[in-house]
Structure 1
Amino acid sequence: MRTTPGSPRPWLRAHPLVADSILAVVLTTASLSLVVLAGGGSAEWQTGATRPYDPLGLVLAAACTLPVALRRRWPFVLLLATIVPQWTLDAMGYDDGLSGLGPLVLLYSVAAHRGLALSLAAIVADLLAYGVDAGIGRGPMPWTDHVVVVVVALLCWVCGRAVRLRRAYLAELMQRADRLERAREADTRAARAEERSRIARELHDVVAHHVSVMTVQAAAARKMLDADPEVARDALTAIEEMGRTAMAEMRNIVGVLRTDGPAELGPQPGMQDLPTLVEQMREAGLRTQLWVEGERRGLPPGIDLAAYRLVQEALTNSLRHAGPAARAWVTVRHEQNELSVHVEDDGRGGADGPARVAGKGHGLVGIRERVALYGGVLRIGPRTGGGFEVRARFPLKDRP
């Protein structure tokens, strides 16, 4: 139910003791007023005369309804406590007014705020107390009156249990919503971390490869600038083209970081671009050969990119560490359920191998992450007979 602005209901819900005290005062005032107005005479439903009211009767009547003020703190104890004044009123022949409403409110409170065992004990105690009270009362009552009293008590208990179950259900829904929200936030953080890692790997591969090639070509151009300006000019042209290519790839990768709309990404490189990569390495001074074995088939995009970046990183390391007279070989083998990639060189593998395996750069770490991501097997280390090699096998599942 909606509450109007300025309504006291939210404040009363925040201060339950005040609301219960108001309820207790209202019940007590109504009960005492009814007793006083009756003047000790007989009511229509009573079978015998009632005792004229006196201070003792008023105190006993008030003792049946005032405990309602603390119904949320000790409902079961107060329910048992109101049985004694209720018995005393009936045993001494006083008009009990509305004193019977106090135990009903406390019975409802036990069912609404306590567990099932205590609430069952409360309904049993209330019915037993009513049975004893009927035996010590002023006279016999029609059986229909007893049925009405029992039904009313059971309704109060059932309503209290329904409220408790509904409150527990709503609390469970809120906890479930909180858990789902926390799980969603955790998934979002994990996805963001994975995306940052992926972008870092892509940026490293692009920057490391192109900058390494540009550095080698710039060194060659510097050496040939006076001896052969034409060769130096060709090297500078290659550096310019390589720089433009690097900027284009970096713009494509960084495009995923835009927050003002979908990124306009170009196609990612793949194994079909290996001839171009090998040609770039040859222009940079690394004599590279490429062999492709087996029937070429369409590769999953992730494996296609991972295998290309592996070859790119391995050739870049050969260009940087193998030496000016080194040669490199790239062998790609397409099998039915596996893609095998082998990159090797005959450079200074024996001297620089440990450094290249356990270097401080992120290139080889990125290679390991890419291969592990797709369940592949990777070997990096010195090559038999000198040099360095990188071997990787990517499993291909559900190939047509």
Structure 2
Amino acid sequence: MAMTIGSSNSGQDVDSAPTPIEGTASSGTWFDKHPRVVDLVIVLAVFSYNLPIQIASVPDNLWSGSGILVSLGLCTPYLFRRRFPLRVFIVILLVVAVQLLLGIGLLVADVMLLFALYNLASRHRWATTIPAASAVVLMLLVATAAPIRLRYMSIGDVGLLVFIAVWTWTWGALVKARREHVASLRQRALQLEREREAHGQVVAARERARIAREIHDIVSHSLGVVVVLADGAASTTHSDPDRAQKAMETVRDTGRGALAEMRSMLGVLRSDEPGSHAPQPGIGQVDQLIEDSRAAGLPVTLKIQGERIPVPTGVDLAVYRTVQEALTNIRKHAGSQVSHVEVLIIRSNTSIEVQVVDDGHGPKSPHQRPHEGYGLFGMRERISAYGGTLHTGQRREKGFEVRANLPIGGPE
């Protein structure tokens, strides 16, 4: 049995390859790349060592080849242990039972039962492996009963064999636990990678929505002004050439401004090129926005209250886009009856309030949500992104109002 103790170290090499539980790639060593060869070498080594000495354990009343057949039954199934760990263990355990029933003594090949137990413990759950380990211990007790009675073995020898069996099961269970832990870490890493990709897709979608809002605000306002002025110029070409020429010059300037603003926005998106960051419009450009609207025939006035204070870039742009979208909506929906539009910007140390009020006909019915197109939706989304609030609705007396409040300390 000293041979049994010394041979158990081979089991570690045999099962160093990954198991079907984890489904991971091999570590790249020669043993991992040739697992079948390793198993075959172990089986041949154990069988060859056992062959010349097995005859000593066979009773005289048995055929002399019984020991060889039992040794084959103990060693050969181990070649299939990676694919069928439980079945291999059961077959080897049954061969050991037949060996004991025939009265054949302990063989060197019996070490394969410990190998099979380790293999099973490293691949199956405790509900399966604990009964298996108990069966091995029971077999050891039965096999050593006669040698103890004949004083060939002592109680200490039996205790050592039981300890080896328990240790073999423990070792396999620890290997299995480590493999599952590594597999869970890898699974977690894959999950984090998927979450990172999903987050990137969400960020990209938000960026596309932001770009869509910017393009809508620029194109909708500028083209609205261009269309109005072009209509006016077409109707006064013969009756008032000077006025038509002035209108077309304003169309030209508005188109150039829209083109410059589009280039500015695209310049910000091209962050990988040095010097591509162009300034975005803000409160300082609202004056020009008002002038363009007046030139397009919209009777609008601007009032700015409060001292000039540093404003985050995003909030500054949000104020400009709010005024721009409100004026565009008035030109689209307020009707020809509008006679006055007032834009009021109130600056304080904590927030900026924007009010755009007109005296047009407003919504056609009290239940209609006016202008709830992409522009107003984008305006509401933009202001919410900076922790602000937006109120739109019909005025009690006449017209429509847009009121936005943006905290200066909101997120950038």
Instruction: Give the TM-score, by structure 2 length.
Output: 0.80
Give 1:396 deviation, angstroms.
4.2
Give 1:189 deviation, angstroms.
0.8
Q: Deviations over 1:342-384 (max 9, x none)?
A: 101122326599878146x422221222233233332223223
> Structure 1 residues 31 and 277 mapped into 2: Cα distance closer, same or farther (>3 Å)?
closer
**Contact conserved, 1:67 with 1:102, CA < 8 A, in 2?**
no
Structure 2 counterpart of 1:278, from 290, 307, 311: 290
Q: Deviations over 1:180-225 (max 9, x none)?
A: 1110111011011100000000000001111111122222222332
Secondary structure in structure 2 of the residue aligned to 1:164: helix
Give 1:227 deviation, angstroms.
2.7
| Aligned equivalent of 2:341 | 328
**Contact conserved, 1:343 with 1:390, CA < 8 A, in 2?**
yes
**Contact conserved, 2:217 with 2:325, CA < 8 A, in 1?**
yes
| Aligned equivalent of 2:174 | 162
Check if 1:236 corresponds to 2:209. no
* Cα separation, 2, equivalents of 1:39 and 1:352: 104
* Cα separation, 2, equivalents of 1:327 and 1:334: 23
Letter in 1 for 2:52: L
* Cα separation, 1, equivalents of 2:269 and 2:311: 27
* Cα separation, 1, equivalents of 2:344 and 2:250: 26
> Structure 1 residues 66 and 352 mapped into 2: Cα distance closer, same or farther (>3 Å)?
same
| Aligned equivalent of 1:99 | 109
Q: Deviations over 1:318-359 (max 9, x none)?
A: 233432762210112224543221101122326599878146
Check if 1:23 corresponds to 2:39. yes
Q: Deviations over 1:280-333 (max 9, x none)?
A: 212221121112223443223222211211111111222334327622101122
Check if 1:65 corresponds to 2:78. no
Q: Deviations over 1:98-131 (max 9, x none)?
A: 3212211111012101113432333333223212
| Aligned equivalent of 1:46 | none
Give 1:41 deviation, angstroms.
4.7
Structure 1 counterpart of 2:385, from 370, 373, 387: 373
> Structure 1 residues 125 and 373 mapped into 2: Cα distance closer, same or farther (>3 Å)?
same
* Cα separation, 2, equivalents of 1:326 and 1:34: 109
Root mean square deviation, CA, Å: 3.4
Identity of aligned residues (%): 34
> Structure 1 residues 177 and 263 mapped into 2: Cα distance closer, same or farther (>3 Å)?
farther
* Cα separation, 1, equivalents of 2:160 and 2:275: 73
| Aligned equivalent of 1:136 | 146
> Structure 1 residues 116 and 350 mapped into 2: Cα distance closer, same or farther (>3 Å)?
closer
Structure 2 counterpart of 1:300, from 312, 322, 326: 312
Structure 1 counterpart of 2:66, from 56, 61, 67: 56
Check if 1:125 corresponds to 2:141. no
* Cα separation, 2, equivalents of 1:353 and 1:379: 16
Secondary structure in structure 1 of the residue aligned to 2:109: coil
Size of the aligned set, in residue pairs, is 382
| Aligned equivalent of 1:310 | 322
Check if 1:40 corresponds to 2:55. yes
* Cα separation, 1, equivalents of 2:325 and 2:91: 84
Q: 1:113-262 counterparts in 2 under 5 A?
A: 113-137=123-147, 139-142=151-154, 145-146=157-158, 148-255=160-267, 258=270, 261=273
Q: Deviations over 1:143-182 (max 9, x none)?
A: 5644553444344323312321222122112211111111
Letter in 2 for 1:357: P
**Contact conserved, 2:359 with 2:398, CA < 8 A, in 1?**
yes
Structure 2 counterpart of 1:110, from 99, 106, 120: 120
Give 1:2 deviation, angstroms.
6.0
| Aligned equivalent of 2:358 | 345
**Contact conserved, 2:265 with 2:280, CA < 8 A, in 1?**
no
> Structure 1 residues 350 and 63 mapped into 2: Cα distance closer, same or farther (>3 Å)?
closer
* Cα separation, 1, equivalents of 2:179 and 2:275: 47
* Cα separation, 2, equivalents of 1:118 and 1:264: 66
Letter in 2 for 1:40: I
Q: Mind listing any 5+ residue stretches in structure 2 that lack a counterpart?
A: 1-25
> Structure 1 residues 219 and 262 mapped into 2: Cα distance closer, same or farther (>3 Å)?
same
* Cα separation, 1, equivalents of 2:161 and 2:369: 90
> Structure 1 residues 97 and 140 mapped into 2: Cα distance closer, same or farther (>3 Å)?
closer
**Contact conserved, 2:344 with 2:356, CA < 8 A, in 1?**
yes
Instruction: Give the TM-score, by structure 1 length.
Output: 0.82
* Cα separation, 2, equivalents of 1:112 and 1:265: 59
> Structure 1 residues 208 and 136 mapped into 2: Cα distance closer, same or farther (>3 Å)?
same
| Aligned equivalent of 1:45 | none
* Cα separation, 2, equivalents of 1:285 and 1:320: 13
* Cα separation, 1, equivalents of 2:195 and 2:348: 41
